[in-house]
């Protein structure tokens, strides 16, 4: 009977029938014990997370950890991923520190896996020095474990230490045979070193017998290599096929449904300056250990692949700034504020219903979440740059919490922005990005929301064009730093040098490891025929943004 209930729960889960799945998982958990209870608890946590019940999901995963004899690494992994995805990187790291302690006395394999999980989470949380120390120590203690070698190679590749990364990945393949992920990273290194023929041969060989879950990833990787080789028609076709496979691999549920994004953007366009003028004002909040700098973060927004990561990296090199690397700070605070005070309210229509006390509390939550995500030491004495393209839609919420905050909007030729987004594999984000027409329409919607926000929110703002930054980097960077009221620092233009190099989690990490260049300007002209079906959507924005 128990097995039958679990089977039915899994079937409902796979079909996206999350309410039925969670009810059956809870039923099974009434009598499950030990490892079985932990496994079912993880499934319940996943279903609750997909349904948007984050607090309940966290509770289920904590219960799954308690149910299984230490160290319960799979449940801890699921919990840390969920916490990190919600901007709680400090808590996610804490999960793995607890795992390391729990693994003591359970053998070297469990201890090594817990330490590896900690190293990975440290890297994903941009605590790179700690991550490198941890992974170096692991590699010394477990020289013949392929997973350790792979993760060390992955970290080194992200940091631009390509020769060392290549050595680690080769060792991975010697230890584990045909590890597809290691081959993909080796292809990226080949491409970064202009060995495009080697990269193409490697990826095409992998595609011949790759499992289905990786074919979309491989095709997107191949598209990037073909583009660099000048095989533009083949690159576009590879990207089109890869995006279709990646979209098909998304689980049922909100992640595959773009209607929510459409609804929120349409609602944003209905806000008026009169409504905004009556919103409650918050009181200043001092962030713990940060001297109150979180009272007025800088919001860096723009359509994906428009240059936001380049601007972020330049700002990160300034000694007075710290950057968020797309931690979902506003989104998590918004969810918490509505859940706490207006659980049936609508966003952004009901922003004017919150009291000054509630807004002040939300502002404090933002400060606490930023410190959890980034670490107090990184923020101490600095001003936060909250970079998140999707904050374009959430600027109204930013205005509620931080009306004094400046906004930097990065724009790019719409044809280049949409093309670059389509050729890039986005494993997370909005579902629009898997389809060329939907991506173009999303760009147009972003433009509408930005133009509307400028008109009604009254926030101090600066528009930065990617093309002007690429052709005149010092002039544009000085204009940006002056806008933020900071003294000029030449370090801003040296962002790509080793002393400033950061672990970047966005798809642009390879592009920002070099000095500013103009190679990507006008890239769309090589794909003019392929972009033909969406030119009608983009042309009005080409003209409105001042392109030709």
pLDDT digits (tens, 9 = 90+) for 44-62: 999 998 888 888 999 999 9
Residues 180 and 311 in one domain: no
Q: How confident is the model at residue 291 (pLDDT cuts 50, 70, 90)?
A: very low
Residue 504's pLDDT is 58
Listed range (20-24, 206-210, 331-335) with the worst mean pLDDT: 206-210
pLDDT(431) > 70: no
Residues 190 and 207 in one domain: yes
Work out the average pLDDT over 299-311. Answer: 94
Pairwise CA distance, residues 417 & 543, whole Å: 15
Tell me if 389 is assigned to some domain: yes
Report in angstroms the alpha-carbon separations of 328 from 117, 391, 406: 22, 9, 18
Residue 208's pLDDT is 85
Provide CB contacts within 8 A for 528, sequence distance 6+: none
Residue 492's pLDDT is 94
Pairwise CA distance, residues 72 & 64, whole Å: 8
Pairwise CA distance, residues 145 & 152, whole Å: 11
410 DSSP assignment = E
Pairwise CA distance, residues 461 & 136, whole Å: 44
pLDDT(290) > 60: no
Q: Identify any residues that bridge with 385 across adjacent strands, giving them in sequence order.
A: 298, 323
Tell me if 345 is assigned to some domain: no
407-411 and 461-465 beta bridge pairing:
parallel
Question: Strand runs (DSSP E) across 248-316, as ranges?
Answer: 298-302
Provide CB contacts within 8 A for 344, sequence distance 6+: none
Q: Could you tell me which of 122, 176, 58 has the C-alpha nearest to residue 375? A: 122
Collapsing DSSP to helix, strand or coil, 385 comes out as: strand
Pairwise CA distance, residues 494 & 499, whole Å: 9
Work out the average pLDDT over 63-76. Answer: 90
Pairwise CA distance, residues 491 & 498, whole Å: 12
Q: Could you tell me which of 375, 426, 466 has the C-alpha nearest to residue 94? A: 375
- Kindly state the helix (H) or strand (E) to which residue 103 belongs, with its residue range: none
Q: Are 161 and 177 in contact (CB under 8 A)?
A: no
Q: Report pLDDT digits (tens) over 385-411.
A: 999 988 999 999 999 999 999 999 999
Residues 308 and 205 in one domain: no
Residue 287's pLDDT is 46
Four-point Cα dihedral 168, 174, 175, 180, nearest 10: 80
Tell me if 20 is assigned to some domain: no
Residues 200 and 218 in one domain: yes
Listed range (14-23, 275-284, 477-486, 510-519) with the worst mean pLDDT: 510-519
Q: Are 443 and 544 in contact (CB under 8 A)?
A: no
pLDDT(427) > 80: no
Pairwise CA distance, residues 365 & 156, whole Å: 34
Pairwise CA distance, residues 513 & 417, whole Å: 19
Residues 263 and 231 in one domain: no
CA neighbours closer than 13 Å in the CB half-sphere of residue 523:
28
Q: How confident is the model at residue 232 (pLDDT cuts 50, 70, 90)?
A: very high
Report in angstroms the alpha-carbon separations of 83 from 72, 265, 328: 17, 26, 11
Pairwise CA distance, residues 420 & 506, whole Å: 14
Residue 210's pLDDT is 81
Residues 242 and 260 in one domain: no
Q: How confident is the model at residue 1 (pLDDT cuts 50, 70, 90)?
A: very low
Q: Is the peptide bond before 202 cis (omega within 30 degrees of 0)?
A: no
Report in angstroms the alpha-carbon separations of 150 from 166, 168, 187, 243: 10, 7, 14, 26
Tell me if 240 is assigned to some domain: yes
Residues 176 and 309 in one domain: no
- Kindly state the helix (H) or strand (E) to which residue 464 belongs, with its residue range: strand 461-465
Quote the tokens at residue 223.
Answer: 């598209």
Question: What is the tally of structural domains in the chain?
Answer: 2
Tell me if 30 is assigned to some domain: no
Q: How confident is the model at residue 160 (pLDDT cuts 50, 70, 90)?
A: confident
CA neighbours closer than 13 Å in the CB half-sphere of residue 257:
10
Q: Could you tell me which of 32, 116, 111, 31 has the C-alpha nearest to residue 70? A: 111
Tell me if 186 is assigned to some domain: yes
Residues 432 and 305 in one domain: yes
Pairwise CA distance, residues 358 & 352, whole Å: 11
Work out the average pLDDT over 326-355. Answer: 92
Residues 219 and 241 in one domain: yes
Structural domain boundaries, residue 234: 144-249
Tell me if 166 is assigned to some domain: yes
321-323 and 298-302 beta bridge pairing:
unpaired
Residues 182 and 305 in one domain: no
Tell me if 276 is assigned to some domain: no
Domain end: 186, 218, 249, which one?
249
Q: Report pLDDT digits (tens) over 354-389.
A: 999 999 999 999 999 998 888 888 888 899 999 998
504 DSSP assignment = -
Token pair 């359509």: residue: 303
Domain end: 249, 281, 314, which one?
249
Residue 288's pLDDT is 41
Instruction: Report angle CA 118, 304, 312 to the nearest 5 degrees.
Output: 60
Pairwise CA distance, residues 103 & 99, whole Å: 6
Domain end: 183, 218, 249, which one?
249
What CATH number is associated with residue 539? 3.40.50.300
What CATH number is associated with residue 187? 1.25.40.10
Q: What is the mean pLDDT of the chain?
A: 88
Residues 180 and 264 in one domain: no
Residues 186 and 320 in one domain: no
């Amino acid at each position: 009977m128990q097995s039958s209930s679990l089977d039915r729960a899994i079937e409902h889960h796979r079909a996206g029938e999350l309410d039925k799945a969670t009810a059956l998982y809870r039923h099974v958990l009434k009598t499950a014990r030990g490892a079985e209870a932990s496994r079912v608890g993880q499934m319940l946590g996943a279903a609750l997370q997909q349904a948007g019940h984050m607090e309940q999901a966290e509770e289920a995963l904590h219960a799954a950890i308690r149910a299984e004899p230490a160290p319960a690494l799979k449940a801890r992994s699921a919990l840390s991923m969920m916490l990190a995805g919600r901007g709680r990187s400090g808590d996610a790291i804490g999960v793995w520190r607890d795992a390391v302690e729990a693994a003591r006395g359970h053998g070297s394999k469990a201890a090594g896996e817990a330490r590896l999980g900690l190293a990975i989470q440290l890297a994903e949380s941009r605590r790179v020095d700690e991550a490198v120390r941890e992974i170096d120590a692991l590699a010394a203690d477990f020289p013949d474990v392929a997973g350790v070698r792979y993760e060390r190679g992955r970290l080194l590749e992200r940091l631009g230490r390509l020769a060392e990364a290549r050595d680690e990945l080769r060792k991975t393949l010697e230890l584990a045979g045909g590890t597809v992920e290691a081959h993909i990273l080796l292809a990226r290194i080949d491409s970064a070193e202009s060995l495009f023929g080697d990269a193409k041969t490697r990826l095409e060989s992998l595609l011949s017998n790759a499992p289905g879950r990786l074919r979309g990833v491989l095709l997107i990787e191949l598209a990037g290599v073909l583009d660099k080789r000048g095989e533009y028609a083949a690159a576009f076709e590879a990207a089109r096929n890869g995006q279709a496979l990646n979209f098909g691999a998304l689980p049922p549920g909100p992640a595959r449904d773009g209607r929510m994004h459409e609804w929120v953007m349409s609602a944003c366009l209905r806000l008026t300056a009169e409504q905004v003028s009556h919103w409650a004002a918050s009181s200043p909040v001092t962030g713990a250990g940060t001297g109150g700098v979180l009272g007025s973060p800088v919001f860096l927004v723009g359509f994906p692949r428009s240059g936001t990561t380049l601007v972020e990296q330049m700002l990160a090199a300034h000694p007075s700034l710290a950057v968020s690397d797309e931690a979902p700070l506003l989104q998590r605070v918004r969810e918490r504020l509505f859940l706490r005070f207006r659980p049936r309210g609508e966003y952004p229509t009901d922003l004017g219903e919150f009291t000054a006390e509630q807004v002040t509390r939300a502002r404090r939550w933002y400060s606490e979440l930023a410190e959890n995500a980034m670490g107090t030491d990184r923020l101490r004495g600095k001003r936060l740059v909250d970079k998140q393209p999707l904050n374009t839609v959430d600027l109204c919420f930013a205005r509620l919490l931080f009306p004094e905050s400046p906004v930097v909007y990065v724009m790019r030729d719409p044809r280049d922005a949409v093309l670059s987004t389509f050729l890039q594999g986005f494993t997370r984000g909005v579902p629009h990005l898997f389809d060329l027409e939907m991506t173009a329409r999303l760009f147009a919607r972003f433009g509408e929301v930005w133009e509307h926000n400028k008109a009604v929110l009254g926030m101090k703002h600066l528009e930065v064009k990617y093309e002007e930054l690429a052709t005149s980097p010092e002039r544009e960077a000085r204009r940006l730093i002056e806008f933020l009221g900071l003294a000029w620092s030449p370090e801003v233009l040296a962002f790509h040098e080793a002393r400033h190099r950061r672990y970047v989690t966005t798809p642009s990490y390879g592009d920002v490891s070099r000095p500013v260049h103009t190679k990507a300007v006008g890239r769309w002209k090589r794909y003019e025929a392929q972009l033909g079906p969406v030119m009608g959507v983009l042309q009005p924005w080409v003209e409105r943004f001042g392109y030709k």
